[in-house]
């Protein structure tokens, strides 16, 4: 019964299902204690809920009761006290499952509200903040979102922000809350809990991998002047179009299946002879002739268009690497197979 029906629903759907199981007066009292945005979302979910089968209804009610009891135990005597009681009543596996869900539901993510904001607009809200404040915000965003926000910043601010992200470590909760309060006045209500771990050189590399090639070159050049050692560390963690030379031939062949012919022709316009030979050498004779013909009749092209095409190809290769379909050579100890 419970597990399959329960796991098929997300948190909001479970909440809507639970409210649908109550009489209107009790459901109304619960809704009155929620935020306006949450009320609107749940009202929409309720209106589109449709028929709920008995198995799902029973599963959701059981989960709610378990979470309620676990929360009461935690409040009364702490997490260890709650674990002991739940293990005695339900066994260690079920107790761990309930406590894990409870802790997950109580853990609030800093700057979560920014996920609902338009990335291209976030820059306008934070551009006048101190670089350290901007760094804190960007470190909590997804790399592709942070790249858009960073790209909207003034050129002289970007390397400063990235340097601060790279050297960031633990951030005290009072600092996070203060930054969130500032943004709350501008954008949305926010929440925070506990120390947050964000930032570091890997975060900077991820952001730089998502930014356009022209901006990336300008920022890296500035960083190399200000902190050559940091720029070198970031560069080693980044993957650029030129790094395709380190991808095995089998990986190049897999990537080529997902790359548009026009993008490939554009990307190779400024590639080194070595890289050009490597990529073309992994094409069939017919495909190679078509690409060379495409490049020949392409004529002069904008550098921006070439860089965009190269970035698309980098994106394809990175997706294949993340899924484990290809391996990028040139790694360190972590890449040694034992």
- 179 neighbors 136 (Cβ within 8 angstroms): yes
Q: Look up residue 272 and give its two tokens.
A: 């080194």
10 Å CB burial of residue 126 (0-12, 13-18, 19+) is: buried
pLDDT score for 89: 80
In whole angstroms, how far apart are CA 133 and each of 174, 250, 252, 295, 314?
13, 44, 41, 46, 30
The answer for residues whose C-beta is within 8 angstroms of residue 304's C-beta and 6 or more apart is 214
Q: List, in sequence order, every residue forming a beta bridge with 328; answer none if it has no partner.
A: 247
In three-state secondary structure terms, 171 is strand
pLDDT score for 229: 81
- 86 neighbors 96 (Cβ within 8 angstroms): no
Q: Which of 110, 118, 218, 228 is nearest to 163 (CA)?
A: 228
Q: Which residues of 36-51 are buried (b: 16+ CB within 10 A; e: fewer)?
A: eeeeeebeebeeeeee
pLDDT score for 274: 92
Q: List, in sequence order, every residue forming a beta bridge with 196; answer none if it has no partner.
A: 171
pLDDT in tens, the chain (338 residues): 344 444 456 677 788 888 888 777 777 778 777 777 777 777 777 766 767 778 888 888 888 888 777 777 777 777 777 788 888 888 888 878 777 766 655 545 567 667 666 776 788 778 888 888 888 888 888 888 888 888 888 888 899 999 988 888 777 777 777 777 777 666 643 333 334 445 567 667 777 767 776 777 778 888 888 888 887 777 766 777 888 888 888 889 988 988 988 889 888 988 889 999 999 999 999 988 998 888 888 878 888 888 888 888 888 887 887 777 777 654 433 443 32
pLDDT score for 68: 78
pLDDT score for 193: 34
- 211 neighbors 179 (Cβ within 8 angstroms): no
Q: Which of 246, 232, 234 is nearest to 204 (CA)?
A: 234
Domains and CATH numbers, the chain: 2-106 (no CATH), 112-237 (1.10.220.30), 241-335 (1.10.220.30)
| CA torsion through residues 78, 83, 88, 94, sign | positive
For 28-48, the pLDDT digits (tens) are: 778 777 777 777 777 777 766
Calpha distance 124→142 (Å, rounded): 18
In whole angstroms, how far apart are CA 188 and each of 37, 41, 113?
10, 16, 7
pLDDT score for 186: 64
- 276 neighbors 268 (Cβ within 8 angstroms): yes
- Please tell me the pTM assigned to this model: 0.37
Q: Look up residue 248 and give its two tokens.
A: 């095995």
Q: Which of 229, 244, 233 is nearest to 309 (CA)?
A: 244
pLDDT score for 9: 64
Calpha distance 236→225 (Å, rounded): 17
pLDDT score for 277: 92
Give the whole-number percent of the chain exceeding pLDDT 90: 4
């Amino acid at each position: 019964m419970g597990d399959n029906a329960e796991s098929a629903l997300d948190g909001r759907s479970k909440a809507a299902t639970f409210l649908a199981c109550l009489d209107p007066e009790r459901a109304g009292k619960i809704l009155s204690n929620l935020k306006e945005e949450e009320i609107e979302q749940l009202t929409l979910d309720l209106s589109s809920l449709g028929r709920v089968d008995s198995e799902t209804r029973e599963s959701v009610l059981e989960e709610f009761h378990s979470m309620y009891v676990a929360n009461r135990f935690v409040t009364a005597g702490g997490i260890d006290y709650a674990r002991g009681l739940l293990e005695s009543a339900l066994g260690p596996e079920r107790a761990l499952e309930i406590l894990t869900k409870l802790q997950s539901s109580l853990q609030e993510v800093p700057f979560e509200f920014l996920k609902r904001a338009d990335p291209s607009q976030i820059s306008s809200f934070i551009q006048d903040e101190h670089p350290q404040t901007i760094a804190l915000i960007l470190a909590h965003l997804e790399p592709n979102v942070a790249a858009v926000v960073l790209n909207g910043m003034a050129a002289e601010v970007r390397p400063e922000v990235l340097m601060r992200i790279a050297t960031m470590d633990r951030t005290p909760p009072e600092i996070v809350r203060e930054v969130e309060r500032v943004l709350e006045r501008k954008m949305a209500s926010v929440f925070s809990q506990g120390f947050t771990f964000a930032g570091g050189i890997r975060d900077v590399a991820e952001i730089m991998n998502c930014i356009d090639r022209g901006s990336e070159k300008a920022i890296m050049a500035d960083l190399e002047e200000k902190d050559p050692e940091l720029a070198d560390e970031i560069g080693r963690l980044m993957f650029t179009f030129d790094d395709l030379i380190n991808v095995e031939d089998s990986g190049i062949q897999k990537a080529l299946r997902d790359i548009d012919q026009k993008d490939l022709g554009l990307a190779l316009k400024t590639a080194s002879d070595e890289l050009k030979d490597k990529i073309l050498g992994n094409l069939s004779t017919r495909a190679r002739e078509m690409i060379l013909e495409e490049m020949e009749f392409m004529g002069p092209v904008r550098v921006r268009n070439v860089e965009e095409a190269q970035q698309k190809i980098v994106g394809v290769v990175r997706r294949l690497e993340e899924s484990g379909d290809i391996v990028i050579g040139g790694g360190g100890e972590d890449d040694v197979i034992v």
